[in-house]
């Protein structure tokens, strides 16, 4: 199969350590290469000349991308910022040219990117959307027992009611439904939507948004043929029996979505960007500078992210 591209992420973090561990686990079932500076990899690696030059029986393959210099574990260097940004852009170019089946991005350190290269995006997701020319994409977190989508993401809780609009909710649900059909092979995805307020507003006694517009928005989409239900009280949506009734839970804000999935599968969660022309997954953790270079980083989420990218590529055909 066409290989996957694993971007190097922040060189001072745990990314390249878990890349080596992921290669040992996946070399024959989900071949990939690292896009980054070979000098930053502590362990066996081989520089390849092109994405299709992977030897699964050999050491970790690296498509070389020069950085400013060596990396020190746990100590981000702003001089590496432009290299990190350029690797992401180069991976997108490879994906859009069909040279890789999908992209899996290792964690970045946003402050280092801002300090070293004036990076203005909140994170990977927004930068990838800009590179792909998409005005809106959707973040989904997934593990074997649950898929969740937050409608609003990295904003203060006090700002959520203002940011949450009928257009944003409608577009998020449509992008999510289309991606579950295209990338996950679900013919008629079932979307369950959380209320914004406790008990989904409890008839307007704990908030008005559900009655004022959320219920009407969902009813209109259901009338158009979407298998969407809600708004449901978020505190009863995530137990095992409830999860059997939907393919994705759509939450109104960040923690409403991420707390349940990190409780269910803290080590194995995968971040997926829906709505791009190419496939993008990522482990659901950060750079972990406190343990970088110690050889103890857990590769479970990166392995799961690479497997999910492989499966999404197969679903797209």
As a whole number, mean pLDDT of residues 147-168 equals 96
Quote the CA–CA distance of 272 and 182 in Å, as a whole number: 13
What share of the chain in percent tops pLDDT 90? 96
Whether residue 69 has pLDDT greater than 90: no
Rounded mean pLDDT of the chain? Answer: 96
CB-side neighbour CA atoms (13 Å) of 228: 26
Quote the CA–CA distance of 231 and 237 in Å, as a whole number: 10
Whether residue 90 has pLDDT greater than 90: yes
As a whole number, mean pLDDT of residues 64-92 equals 95
The reply to whether omega before 228 is within 30° of 0 (cis) is: no
User: Which stretches of 118-163 are DSSP H helices?
Assistant: 124-131, 160-163
Predicted TM-score (pTM) of the model is 0.94
- DSSP SS3 for 81: helix
What does R_g of the chain's alpha carbons equal in angstroms? 20
In this predicted model, what pLDDT tens digit does every residue of 36-62 receive, in sequence order?
999 999 889 999 999 999 999 999 999
Domains and CATH numbers, the chain: 1-136+277-317 (3.40.718.10), 145-264 (3.40.718.10)
Q: Sheet holding 146-150: strands in order across?
A: 45-48, 60-64, 32-36, 4-7, 103-105, 280-283, 270-274, 138-143, 146-150, 248-251, 190-194, 227-232
In this predicted model, what pLDDT tens digit does every residue of 133-154 receive, in sequence order?
999 999 999 999 999 999 999 8
In this predicted model, what pLDDT tens digit does every residue of 236-274 receive, in sequence order?
999 999 999 999 999 999 999 999 999 999 989 999 999
Report pLDDT for 154.
85
Q: CA nearest 44: which of 69, 17, 64, 67?
A: 17
Report pLDDT for 317.
85
């Amino acid at each position: 199969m066409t290989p996957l591209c694993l971007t190097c992420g922040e060189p001072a973090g745990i990314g390249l350590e878990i890349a080596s561990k992921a290669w040992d686990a996946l070399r024959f079932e989900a071949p990939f290469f690292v896009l980054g500076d070979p000098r930053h990899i502590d362990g066996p690696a081989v520089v390849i000349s092109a994405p299709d030059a992977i030897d699964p029986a050999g050491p970790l393959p690296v498509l070389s991308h020069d950085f400013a210099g060596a990396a020190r574990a746990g100590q981000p260097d702003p001089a590496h910022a432009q290299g990190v940004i350029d690797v992401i852009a180069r991976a997108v170019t490879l994906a859009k040219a069909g040279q890789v089946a999908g992209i899996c991005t290792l964690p970045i350190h946003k402050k280092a990117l801002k300090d070293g290269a004036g990076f203005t995006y909140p994170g990977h997701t927004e930068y990838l959307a800009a590179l792909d020319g998409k005005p809106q994409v959707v973040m989904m977190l997934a593990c074997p027992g649950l898929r969740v989508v937050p409608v609003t993401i990295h904003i203060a809780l006090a700002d959520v009611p203002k940011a949450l609009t009928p257009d944003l909710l409608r577009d998020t649900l449509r992008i999510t439904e289309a991606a579950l059909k295209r990338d996950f092979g679900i013919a008629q995805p079932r979307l369950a939507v959380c209320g914004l307020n406790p008990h989904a507003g409890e008839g307007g006694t704990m908030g008005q948004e559900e009655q004022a517009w959320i219920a009407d928005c969902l009813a209109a989409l259901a009338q158009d043929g979407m298998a969407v239900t809600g708004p449901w009280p978020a505190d009863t949506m995530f137990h095992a029996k409830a999860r059997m009734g939907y393919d994705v839970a759509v939450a109104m804000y960040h923690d409403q979505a991420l707390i349940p999935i990190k409780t269910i599968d803290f080590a194995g969660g995968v971040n997926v960007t829906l709505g791009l022309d190419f496939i993008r997954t990522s482990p659901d953790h950060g750079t972990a500078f406190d343990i970088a270079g110690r050889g103890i980083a857990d590769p479970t989420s990166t392995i799961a992210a690479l497997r999910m990218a492989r499966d999404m590529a197969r679903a797209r055909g």
